[in-house]
Structure formats: C-alpha cells, structure tokens
Amino acid sequence: MEGLTRDPSDDRGRRLDFDADDMVLRALRPHREEAWREPGKLNDRERQVAVEVARGRSNTEIAQKLYMSVATVKANITRIFAKLGTDNRVQVAIGLL
C-alpha cells in the first residue's frame, strides 16, 4: 500500500513512492531493537512501570496500582526513557510488543 499525501495545488491525493507506515516503523525500530535486546536493561520495578505505561495508565493510576508515590513513578519513567533511549510513552509501549 502506498502512502498518500495531499497536493496543496489541487484537491486530489497524489501517490508517493513510499509507504508512510513503513517509514514510521523504520524510525521507531532502532529504539525497539536496542531497548529490548537486553532483558536486564530495566530492573523489575521499571519493567512493572513500563508495562503499566504500555497499558495507557496515567502516573496516578500506576502509583495506585503499584503502591508507590506519583513522584516515584515519574522517577521510574525518567529512568526508563533514559535506558531505552526514548522520550515518550508510545515508544515504551511499542518496545513491549
């Protein structure tokens, strides 16, 4: 399937030579491969927090579920981001796939 983009000069979509989905996946792949190639990269608690992040839970929800303060959740997420070489929750979720 080819990606589509809108040509501002007309109202018809114009086909391009690339698949936008593949471009996104290629851009994220290095983070995923580096992050999850080494299972020991995250400690147990960070792994638990990462799973909850991947489930879409808020920091407050994670804190309640894992019996920790919101500040501790934020600190764990900061360490997870640093260890995985990312800066957003979506890439953490993708890494768990």
What is the distance between the alpha carbons of residues 50 and 79, in angstroms, rounded to a whole number?
A: 10
| 3 state DSSP class of 85 | coil
Q: What is the dihedral of CA 48, 54, 57, 60, to 10 degrees?
A: 50
**Average pLDDT of the segment spanning 7-27:** 53
- The CATH architecture that domain 41-97 belongs to is Orthogonal Bundle (1.10)
- Provide the pLDDT for residue 19: 58
- Provide the pLDDT for residue 63: 97
Express each pLDDT in 39-88 by its tens digit: 458 899 999 999 999 999 999 999 999 999 999 999 999 999 888 888 89
